[in-house]
Structures are given as C-alpha cells and as structure tokens.
Amino acid sequence: MTIKAIETLRLDEFPNLLWLYVEDEDGVKGLGETFFGAQAVEAYLHETAAPLLLGQSPDPDSIRVLLRPYVGHQAAGAEVRGASAIDIALWDLWGKRTGQPLWKLLGGRAREAVRTYNTCAGYQYVRSDKGQVPENWGLGGAEGPYEDLDAFLTDAGALAESLLSEGISAMKIWPFDTYAHATNGMAITPEQLAEGCEPFRKIRAAVGDHMQIMLEMHSLWSAPAAADIAQAVAPYDVFWVEDPIQISGFSALADLRRRIPQKITASETLAGRRQFYELIAADAVDIVMLDLGWCGGLTEAKAIASIAEARALPVAPHDCTGPVVFAASCHFSVHAPNAMIQERVRAFHTGWHTEIVEAGPVFEDGMIAPPAGDGLGLALRPDLFERADAHVRRSPA
C-alpha cells in the first residue's frame, strides 16, 4: 500500500492553520494539522515533501527519515511543521486502515483520561496572522462565556472560581507579556512587577490554594528580567514558569533554573528528539513540554517522552492551536506513562474547534479523554472545502 495523494486546506478565517490529508491507494485518508506559517508550510508540502512521499509506503518512522532535511535547516520552521502534519496524518491513516484508535497504535493506554489545565485564552486569541503579540490577543467582542484572557487581566479571582466549578484546578496566564513587548524583554520595573502580580493575588484571594497557577512567559525575557519576575510571583506559589527566556542554547536556561524557586517548563519552540535530548541532558528543565504540530509529530513525541522518562521527568503536551493537534495530543497523553497534564483552551474546545471538526476530545470534571473511533477519532467538516475562503491544493501521484 502506497501514498496516492496529499491534499491541503487553508481558510482565510483561520490564516495560521493548515490541514493536510494523506491519501492511500484505496482512498483512505489520514488527517494532519499544523499552526503558524500556513502558506509556507503548504508550499513545502506540495513542492518539496510531495515528490518524496508519493508512491511510498505510509509508515511513520520511515517517512520521518525520508523527510529529514539535508542542509540549510534547523528548529521548528516550515519543514518541521510540515513533517509534523504529515506524521500525524500517517498515524491517523494507520488507525483508519486497521480499525484502531491512535492511543492503541502508540502502544496502549496508561490511563483512561488525563488531568487538564486551562490556558486562559479567548475566542479570538491568535486568530490573525500577526504572530504572538498583544495586538493579536483578540480582546473585546466576547463570543461566549469563556473570554478567559480578558478575565485573567481584569478579574482573575472570578475566573479561577469559574474554572473550579468545572473541575479545572490548574490555569495558565501571561500578564507580563505586554511589558516585554514594550522593552524588548531586557528589564522590568517595580511598578510593572506589582501590576503583573495582580492576577496572582486575586486568584489566591478568591480560591486560596485550590488552584495551581502556571506562568507563561513566551520566551520574551532576558535572564535577569525573568529572574526578577520569578521572584516577584514567588509568594503566590506559582506551579511552573514556562519558556522564561529564548532558548538559543541550554546553559542559560539551566543557570536560571538553579536561581529561581519555581519549576521550569520548556519548550514548544524545540523540534525533534535531538534538541529535547540536549535540553534534558543540560538539566535545564523540570517538565518537558512539546507540541505535536511543531516537534515532528507523534513519532518524535513518543521518542521525546521516552528520553524524558529515562531521566524521571514528566511531559506536558502543549496545545493552544487547532482541533486536530489537540485530539492527537489527548491520544498521546493517555498513552505516555509520564504524561503529567494536558493543556486545553476551553474557549477553543467549546468554541471555534466545533466549527472545524465533527467530534473532539471528551471533557468531564477536569479530565480529558481522546475522541472515540479509529485513528484520531475525528474528521474535518466536509463543508469546509466548499467555503468561499477555502484554499484547496492537491498533489496526486
């Protein structure tokens, strides 16, 4: 059995997202997805990857090796994002051909469901193609009950109470980002530190220790500024700080880890098992975070989790993007023995994700489980391909 075609879909409404179908000779299709640089990834898939893929057996590990770039490439750029989408699609195709859920193909189920935390984004968060900047936060014009980014900036205590009412006992916020964008992350003033700590103070005042709080720092800060922030939030018992500095090497992160009181989580910015091996070997991280749409897909994620497990480290899959990677992450999280917690954005999961896919992961009382069914257990809504803003491209054998 060989790969007969690949097909991609972009929608103008969601300019950061790209969906991919890998189709075999029998017309069975596997679904993949990635986020950011959608047009660049689309070009890579059809101009570079398709000539290599077509006619090949759809085996995830052999395709991973086949797509390995030769020169002029490093980190999670268009090539790795495209390869990630392909890999997820190949696992989905395998599941559909064999009538098995993805978690079983990965090696079985370590748990029925995994604890989830809420990333406090809103419905319009990172919906435009401006990148990760405050102007792309999508504040204003709430579309439903979960405008959680505005909530953590204005009434974080009430937000924590809302989350606890749904059984969610962990939340992630990023109140210091605006100061980094104003100063290029080189320094932060005492006044800014005090203002950025307000959401943490309100959460503790409202719900005490019943909520774990994660601080997202988006790799925006210098090491001294990151240390200042970590010390400022220390009284509020922050569970982890995530990507406090840009990772161009691991020694600076390892040094910061030794100097701050919180656990460090990293990094959605890395790609492939080799980079994660170096991160872990440098003792730079307490919790390993990987994104299936950016690290190379499920095949790389499985290897990364094994490397982390060998060092007694948990993994916490990242997800603040699309519904396909989210579903794949939930399959991965119930499979991996050292998966600690799964990220979820309730504004996405109950909001625009439902406009894209016909099913999704199952949430109940703070726990998330993958959708039932073969492969990923979900499919794109057929009408997406007929939309006026749809860009469909197909590369046949």
Identify the CATH number of the domain in which residue 19 sits.
3.30.390.10
- Is 28 in the same domain as 76? yes
- Is 360 in the same domain as 386? no
User: Mean of the per-residue pLDDT values for the chain?
Assistant: 95
Phi-psi region of 140 (alpha: psi -120 to 50; beta: other; left: phi over 0): left
Do residues 33 and 322 lie in contact, with contact meaning Cβ atoms separated by under 8 Å? yes
- Is 225 in the same domain as 344? yes
Q: Tell me, what amino acid is at 49?
A: A
- Is 252 in the same domain as 307? yes
Verdict on whether the full-model pTM lies above 0.85: yes
The span from the CA of 307 to the CA of 302, in Å, is 9
Q: Which of 373, 286, 348, 329 is nearest to 138 (CA)?
A: 348
Residue 103 half-sphere exposure toward CB, CA atoms < 13 A: 25
**Residue 24 counted as domain residue:** yes
Neighbour tally for 87: CB within 10 Å: 28
pLDDT in tens, 25-80: 999 999 999 999 999 999 999 999 999 999 999 999 999 999 987 766 666 689 99
pLDDT in tens, 86-121: 999 999 999 999 999 999 999 999 999 999 999 999
pLDDT in tens, 299-319: 999 999 999 999 999 999 999
Q: Tell me, what amino acid is at 230?
A: A
Count of all residues that appear for the chain in the document: 397
What pLDDT score was predicted for residue 73?
Answer: 65
Pairing of strands 342-344, 114-119: parallel
The span from the CA of 259 to the CA of 254, in Å, is 9
- Is 219 in the same domain as 239? yes
**Residue 374 counted as domain residue:** no
Do residues 295 and 270 lie in contact, with contact meaning Cβ atoms separated by under 8 Å? yes
- Is 205 in the same domain as 67? no
- Is 118 in the same domain as 71? no
The span from the CA of 114 to the CA of 112, in Å, is 7
pLDDT in tens, 205-259: 999 999 999 999 999 999 999 999 999 999 999 999 999 999 888 999 999 999 9
- Looking up residue 283, the CATH number of its domain turns out to be 3.20.20.120
- Is 240 in the same domain as 276? yes
The span from the CA of 329 to the CA of 325, in Å, is 6
- Is 221 in the same domain as 357? yes
- Is 187 in the same domain as 283? yes
Q: Which domain holds residue 64?
A: 3-100+379-396
- Is 30 in the same domain as 111? no
| Number of structural domains in the chain | 2
In the block, which residue shows the tokens 């080189």?
186
